[in-house]
C-alpha cells in the first residue's frame, strides 16, 4: 500500500482555507477577551447541538478537563475514579488538583471503563467518576449513572474522542455534571487545537471562567460572590485562538455528513474483515448505543508477546494504515507504576498492576486502523483484508 492509499486527516480543505483567509482580512481580532465574535458564535452553536445551557471554549481538551476538575473543588482527601485504559490527558490535569486517583479496569470488547469493576472501587471518599468514551464508543452510561446516583457521586465525561456519539438516543457529554471535548486536529470536529466544556451547571461554568478566562469575560459573566476575583482570576489562560474557532465553525457545518459517511465506511470495513480469522472486531453498536469512530480497533487474539511483535512488524512491512493512538494503560506509566513521585506530589500513586489484566490484554493485542471519514476512502478499505492476510502469513500466524 503506497502513500496515495494512506489515511490523511485533516485533508486539504479549500473551504476552510478560504474561511481563515476571509477572517484574517476582515479586521476581526486575533485575540478575543470576552464572549463575542466567532467565539460566541461557535459556543452558541455547540450548546445548541448538545441542548446544553453552557458551552465554554478552551485552547485544548486538556484545558477543558482541568477547568472542570478545578471547578469541582476537589482536595487532597478526595478520591476520583478514572479509567485505566484512556489517554493520559484524562488524568494529568488531576495531578494539579492533588487528589487521589483510583484506576479502574476496562471492558475487553470496547476498552471503556468496566462498570462492574467501578462499583468495587467506591469508598466514602469517592467524589467523582471520570468516564472516557474511548475511540468513539459510548461507555455503558445507564449502568454508570445508576451507580453514581446510588452513592451520590459526580460523573464527568471525557468525550474528546466521541463527538456525535449517542447512548440511548442521548448525546454523550450530556449525562454527567459536565463534559470535555477536544478540537485537536486528529478529531472529526477539529480546530487545529482547542477544546470545549459542556454543562448545565452554572457553578461549574463560572468557576471555569474564573480559572481560564479572567478579566473581561469573567467580569461580564460571573454572578456569584466569586465575581470579586474575576479581574485577577485563578491562575490560567485557556482562551481559544479565534482562528481555531473559525476552523471548527467551518467544520461544524459538515460534521453530521462526515459522521454519517464514517459509519458507512466503518460498516464496510467491519464487513470485509468479518471473515478474517483470528481477529476480534470492535462493537459496531450495542442495543442502545450509536458510536462514532476515533479509530477502528482490531484485536489480534494471540497471547504471545513475541508473536504480537512479529505481527506488528508485518503490518508495517505492508504499510497497512494505522492510527497512532497513544493510549497505553495508565498503570504502566509513572507515577502509577512506581513509588517514585513528582516533586509536587505528597503521596505515591502506585497501583497494583494485577488489577488491570483486561486493560493490559486490550492494549497488547489491539492495532488501530484509521477512522475512514471520507467517501473516497472506500477503495482503500477494500484492500485491507488482503494486506492483513499477507501480514499474518509473513508473521507465521
Q: Note if the pTM is more than 0.85.
A: yes
Query: What pLDDT was estimated at residue 287?
Result: 66
Query: What pLDDT was estimated at residue 105?
Result: 98
Contact assessment for residue 33 and residue 217, using Cβ atoms and an 8 Å cutoff = yes
Residues of the chain falling short of pLDDT 70: 1-5, 285-287
* Residue 83 to residue 90: CA distance in whole angstroms: 8
Check whether residue 177 and residue 322 sit in a common domain. no
Check whether residue 98 and residue 206 sit in a common domain. yes
* Residue 131 to residue 167: CA distance in whole angstroms: 13
Query: What pLDDT was estimated at residue 1?
Result: 46
Query: What pLDDT was estimated at residue 3?
Result: 47
Of 245, 241, 262, 112, nearest to 188 by C-alpha is: 262
Query: What pLDDT was estimated at residue 349?
Result: 87
Counting beta carbons within 10 angstroms of the beta carbon of residue 355, is it exposed (0 to 12), middle (13 to 18) or buried (19 or more)?
A: middle
Asked, for residue 75, whether it belongs to a domain, the answer is yes
Check whether residue 232 and residue 262 sit in a common domain. no
Check whether residue 248 and residue 258 sit in a common domain. no
Query: What pLDDT was estimated at residue 4?
Result: 47
- Domain around 268: 254-394
Contact assessment for residue 198 and residue 173, using Cβ atoms and an 8 Å cutoff = yes
* Residue 195 to residue 251: CA distance in whole angstroms: 14
Total structural domains in the chain? Answer: 2
Q: Write out pLDDT tens, residues 39-56.
A: 999 999 999 999 999 999
* Residue 242 to residue 255: CA distance in whole angstroms: 19
Close Cβ partners of 49 (under 8 Å, ≥ 6 residues apart)? 171, 252
Check whether residue 86 and residue 156 sit in a common domain. yes
Check whether residue 211 and residue 268 sit in a common domain. no
CA atoms within 13 A on the CB side of 126: 24
| Domain containing residue 154: CATH number | 3.40.640.10
Amino acid at each position: 500500500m503506497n502513500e496515495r492509499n494512506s489515511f490523511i486527516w485533516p485533508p486539504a480543505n479549500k473551504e476552510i482555507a478560504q474561511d481563515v483567509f476571509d477572517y484574517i482580512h476582515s479586521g476581526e481580532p486575533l485575540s478575543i477577551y470576552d464572549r463575542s465574535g466567532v467565539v460566541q458564535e461557535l459556543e452558541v452553536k455547540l450548546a445548541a447541538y448538545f441542548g446544553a445551557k453552557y458551552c465554554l471554549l478552551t485552547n485544548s481538551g486538556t484545558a477543558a478537563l482541568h477547568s472542570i476538575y478545578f471547578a469541582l473543588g476537589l482536595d487532597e482527601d478526595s478520591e476520583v475514579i478514572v479509567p485505566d485504559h484512556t489517554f493520559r490527558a484524562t488524568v494529568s490535569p488531576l495531578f494539579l488538583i492533588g487528589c487521589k486517583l483510583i484506576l479502574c479496569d476496562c471492558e475487553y470488547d470496547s476498552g471503556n471503563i468496566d462498570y462492574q469493576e467501578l462499583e468495587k472501587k467506591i469508598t466514602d471518599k469517592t467524589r467523582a467518576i471520570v468516564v472516557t468514551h474511548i475511540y468513539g464508543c459510548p461507555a455503558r452510561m445507564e449502568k454508570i449513572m445508576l451507580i453514581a446516583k446510588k452513592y451520590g457521586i459526580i460523573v464527568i465525561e471525557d468525550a474528546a474522542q466521541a463527538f456525535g456519539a449517542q447512548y440511548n438516543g442521548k448525546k454523550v457529554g450530556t449525562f454527567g455534571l459536565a463534559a470535555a471535548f477536544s478540537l485537536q486536529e486528529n478529531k472529526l470536529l477539529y480546530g487545529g487545537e482547542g477544546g470545549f466544556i459542556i454543562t448545565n451547571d452554572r457553578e461549574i461554568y463560572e468557576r471555569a471562567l474564573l480559572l481560564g478566562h479572567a478579566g473581561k469575560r469573567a467580569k461580564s459573566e460571573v454572578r456569584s460572590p466569586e465575581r470579586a476575583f474575576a479581574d485577577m482570576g485563578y491562575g490560567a489562560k485557556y482562551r481559544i485562538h479565534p482562528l481555531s474557532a473559525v476552523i471548527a465553525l467551518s467544520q461544524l457545518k459538515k460534521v453530521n455528513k462526515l459522521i454519517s459517511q464514517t459509519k458507512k465506511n466503518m460498516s464496510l470495513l467491519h464487513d470485509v474483515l468479518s471473515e478474517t480469522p483470528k481477529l476480534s472486531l470492535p462493537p459496531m453498536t450495542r442495543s442502545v448505543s450509536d458510536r462514532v469512530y476515533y479509530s477502528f480497533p482490531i484485536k489480534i487474539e494471540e497471547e504471545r508477546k513475541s508473536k504480537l511483535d512479529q505481527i506488528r512488524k508485518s503490518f508495517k512491512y505492508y504499510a497497512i494504515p494505522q492510527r497512532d493512538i497513544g493510549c497505553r494503560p495508565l498503570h504502566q506509566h509513572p507515577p502509577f507504576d512506581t513509588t517514585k513521585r513528582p516533586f509536587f506530589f505528597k503521596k505515591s500513586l502506585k497501583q497494583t498492576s494485577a488489577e488491570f489484566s483486561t486493560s493490559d490484554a486490550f492494549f497488547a493485542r489491539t492495532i488501530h486502523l484509521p477512522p475512514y471519514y471520507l467517501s473516497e476512502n472506500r477503495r482503500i478499505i477494500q484492500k485491507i483484508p488482503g494486506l492483513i492476510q499477507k501480514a499474518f502469513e509473513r508473521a507465521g500466524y
